[in-house]
Amino acid sequence: MATDNETKNFAALDEVMSWRTQSALARVVGKQSFWVFIAAVIACIALSLATDSFSSSQNLFNVTRNFAFVAIVALGMTIVIISGGIDLSVGSTLCLSAMVLAILMNAGHPLWFSAPLAVGAALTVGLINGLLIAYLRIPPFVVTLGMLSLARSAAMVLSNNKMVFQFGPDEQLLFWLGGGSSWGIAHPVIALVLLALMTGAILRWTRWGTHVFAIGSNERAADLTGINVRRLKVSVYMCSAFFAGVAGVLEAGWLGGVTTNLGQSLELSVIAASVIGGANLMGGAGTVFGSVVGAALIEVIRNSLILLGISTFWQGAFVGSFIILAVAFDRIRSLRDESR
C-alpha cells in the first residue's frame, strides 16, 4: 500500500487539491435558504397577479417595514442558533429596550442619550444570559425562558405598566427614525439591510464568525483548539440582545407609543424566521440571507391572507406548516445524502 501512495503522481494531486467537490451552483441549490427564497418570490408573483393591491408601492412599503423588525431580531437569533443555543428572551428584551428609551425621553432626555442606554439595557440582559449559560452551564432554553419573564417584568416595574406616548423634545426625531422613510424606503428596512450586510460579513470574514460556527458544530473540538468558548458564548447572547435592543428603539419610533406587551411572543416569529431560513436548531448551520428571507416569507403569507380576504385565524396554520415543511425538505435531502 505504501508504494501505491509513493508512486502517486504529484501533478495529479495538485490538480485534485484545487477542486472543490461541490460546484458553486450545487452549493447554492443545496441550500435551504435558496428554496425559501424561491418560494417567497413565487408567492410574491402569484399575489401580484391575484390581487391589484399587493404590488402597490404602499403595500410593498408596509410589508417590508413590518418584517424588518422581526428580521433584525432574527439576525441575532441566527447567530445564537448557529452557536448551538437559543434565545427565548428577545421579545422581552425588545420591550425592555423600548421602555427604557420611552421613559428616558419622556423625562426630557435627548435621543442620542436615551437610545444608547436603551440598547445598553438590552446588552445587560444579554450579558446575564450569556454568563449564566457559559459559566454556570445552565441550558440556554432555561436561562432565556426565565429571562423572558424577568425582562418583561422589569419593563412593567420601570413603567408601572403604563403606556408611554410622549417622548419629550426629541419626539419628532424618534418618530422620523423609526417611522420615517428615505428614498421611498422605510427606515427600519434601511437599518435591516445595513445590519444584515454587517452580520453576514462578520460571520463570513472574521475569526469570531468562524468560531461561532465551530462551537455550534463541535464545542469540545473548539475548546481543544484553544478557542475561549465561554467568552464567545457570552458575546453571542449579547449580540442577540443588541439586535433586539436596536429593534426596540426603532419600533418605539414607528408605533409612537410603548406598552409593556410590545414584542409579546415575538421570539416565536423570530425563531420561525431563522428556522425557515435554514438555521439548524442543533447548531452549526444558518445564514443571514436565509433568516431575512424567512422573516419576509412569514410577512408575505400574513399579508396575502389579508389581501385575499381569508380569515386571519388561518395565519398560524400557514406559518406553522411552512416551518415544518421547510425543515422537512432539509431533512429529506440530508437523508438522501446519507444513503448516497
- Residue selected from 1, 11, 25, 136 as contacting other proteins according to rule CB under 8 A: 1
Closest CB 2 distance from other proteins, rounded Å: 6
- Residue selected from 62, 217, 264, 315 as contacting other proteins according to rule CB under 8 A: 217
Contact between 256 and other proteins (CB under 8 A)?
no
- Residue selected from 207, 309, 311, 313 as contacting other proteins according to rule CB under 8 A: 207
Contact between 339 and other proteins (CB under 8 A)?
no
Residue 54 is given by DSSP the state: T
Q: What is the DSSP string of 161-185?
A: T--B---GGGHHHHHHHHH-EETTE
Identify which of residues 226 and 309 has a Cβ nearer to other proteins in the complex: 226
Identify which of residues 111 and 232 has a Cβ nearer to other proteins in the complex: 232
Closest CB 141 distance from other proteins, rounded Å: 22
Cβ neighbours of residue 105 closer than 8 Å, sequence gap 6 or more: 111, 114, 167, 168, 170, 171, 174
- Positive or negative CA dihedral for 102, 105, 106, 109? positive
Query: Rounded to an integer, what distance in angstroms lies between the CA atom of residue 209 and that of residue 290?
Result: 16
Q: Is residue 11 classed as helix, strand or coil in its secondary structure?
A: helix
Closest CB 241 distance from other proteins, rounded Å: 23
Q: Name residue 258's beta-bridge partners.
A: 164
Identify which of residues 137 and 340 has a Cβ nearer to other proteins in the complex: 340
List C-alpha distances in Å: 243 to 97, 170, 237.
10, 22, 10
Q: Is residue 258 classed as helix, strand or coil in its secondary structure?
A: strand
Identify which of residues 218 and 264 has a Cβ nearer to other proteins in the complex: 218
Contact between 149 and other proteins (CB under 8 A)?
no
Closest CB 181 distance from other proteins, rounded Å: 30
| Of residues 7-46, those binding other proteins (CB under 8 A) | 8, 10, 13-14, 16-22
Strands 185-186, 181-182: pairing kind: antiparallel
Interaction mask 274-293, other proteins, x per CB under 8 A: ----------xx--------
Contact between 338 and other proteins (CB under 8 A)?
no
Cβ neighbours of residue 60 closer than 8 Å, sequence gap 6 or more: 54
Q: Is residue 186 classed as helix, strand or coil in its secondary structure?
A: strand
- Residue selected from 37, 54, 213, 322 as contacting other proteins according to rule CB under 8 A: 213
Which residues of the shown chain bind other proteins in the complex (CB under 8 A)?
1-2, 5-6, 8, 10, 13-14, 16-22, 204-207, 210-211, 213-214, 216-218, 220-222, 224-227, 284-285
